[in-house]
Amino acid sequence: MVSTENRGGSPVATPPGRTALDAVRRHLPGLALVAVGLAAAILVNTAVSSISRLVAAVVIGAALGNIGLATPATRPGLTFAAKRLMRIGVVLLGLRLSIGQITDLGVTTVAVIVVTVFSTFFGTQWLGRRMGLSNGLSLLVGTGFAICGLSAIAAVEEASDASEEEIATAMGLVTLFGTLAIFAVPFAGHLVGLDDQQLGTWVGASVHDTAQVVAAASNGGAAVLSVAVAVKLTRILLLAPIVAGVNVARSRAVARSAAADANDDDVSKRPSPLPLFVAGFIACVLIRTSGVLGDSVLDTAKEIEGLVLTAAMVGLGAAVNIGRIRTLGPKPVVLGAVSWVGVAVISLGAVLITT
């Protein structure tokens, strides 16, 4: 129970149900706004299937925020969507992937994925710091381009200590260059003369968001699409060790800062090496691998995952302040362009060498 004081100074217990009800009321305005954005994103995706729900949700959320609809009263609900719902969505992503799908790809394809992901992840951060950009923005761009676009950025944004403007910029870069990749990668693959297996591997290893991978691979036929999706989902699996590594690094930085300041209070700020939602993601992979869930359950879970992540993107987008993003200058765009070309070249080189 939560205690308050009456006029005489004696404590008066507040029923737990009352506290929970107050919390619900605080979140309702923001969640109502999220629901509006979610419905709008679904309508956009239905009308123009090439625009994924996640991309539409970010843009719609940003529009809602910048026309003044994201008021202080809506902030609790928007924050809940951006943080809590995002984590639930990432957990459910694990139900898309089984260990069997990974082993079916073969050692060489898995090697292509690992080399591409970690080269892009660390190389983008190195380049961003050399360009004078913040560690947080460099981390977000590196993670988004290396793994799974918007979902990956959302998964590490709390540990990155990046500003809302930097988060929005990273998301914008992933959306921009991921959209360009839908057209550029298949076209370049045909010019190079890749077969279906090679093209599917390249699309899955280089295109950022899952929906963008599907869009890019669809024109190549069922064989290209099936390989691309399997490769992409295996990339998503690497989100777990990367998030864990980011949290370990941040925890050590906090520990060093606390030791320097002799302030034990900073210990509470250290993130867990393996966040609960990442452990949940791994658990869902194991559940999918076990085969205990039927196709109808998995299809329902996939739909719920899509809705939850779309709602989360509305919340993230609502925090975007377009005017303040402009103050970051052109350097982030250059970083995004170089990272995009880098992930494409590294993955293509790995595909050609190993196949």
pLDDT at 267 over 70: no
Residue 42: pLDDT band by 50, 70, 90 thresholds?
very high
Q: Please report the pLDDT score of residue 183 as a whole number.
A: 83
On average, the pLDDT of the chain sits at 82
Residue 259: pLDDT band by 50, 70, 90 thresholds?
low
Q: Is residue 287 part of a domain?
A: yes
| Number of domains the chain contains | 1
Question: From CA 130, how far away is CA 353, in angstroms rounded?
Answer: 30
Q: Is residue 3 part of a domain?
A: no
Mean pLDDT (whole number) for 285-313:
90
DSSP 8-state symbol, 193: T
Residue 2: pLDDT band by 50, 70, 90 thresholds?
very low
CA dihedral defined by 325, 329, 334, 337, rounded to 10 degrees? 20
Question: From CA 77, how far away is CA 80, in angstroms rounded?
Answer: 5
Its pTM surpasses 0.85: no
Residues 233-244 pLDDT 10s: 888 888 888 888
Q: Is residue 42 part of a domain?
A: yes
Mean pLDDT (whole number) for 178-203:
88
Cα 7 to chain centroid, rounded? 50
Residue 120: pLDDT band by 50, 70, 90 thresholds?
very high
pLDDT at 147 over 80: yes
Residue 18: pLDDT band by 50, 70, 90 thresholds?
low
Q: Is residue 34 part of a domain?
A: yes
Q: Is residue 203 part of a domain?
A: yes
Mean pLDDT (whole number) for 154-164:
81
Contacts of 22 (CB under 8 A, 6+ apart): none
Q: Is residue 293 part of a domain?
A: yes
pLDDT at 113 over 70: yes
Residue with tokens 């709008």: 40
Mean pLDDT (whole number) for 24-46:
91
% of the chain residues with pLDDT over 70: 86
Q: Is residue 8 part of a domain?
A: no
pLDDT at 272 over 60: no
pLDDT at 212 over 90: no
Which segment of 54-58, 132-136, 161-165, 321-325 scores lowest on mean pLDDT?
A: 321-325
Residue ranges making up the domain that contains 141: 14-354
Q: Is residue 191 part of a domain?
A: yes
pLDDT at 36 over 80: yes
Residues 78-100 pLDDT 10s: 888 887 888 888 788 888 888 88
% of the chain residues with pLDDT over 90: 25
238's tokens: 């690497």
Residue 67's region, left for phi above 0, alpha for psi from -120 to 50, else beta, is alpha
The helix/strand count (H/E) of the chain reads as 17, 2
Residue 257: pLDDT band by 50, 70, 90 thresholds?
low
Q: Are the beta carbons of 195 and 221 closer than 8 angstroms?
A: no
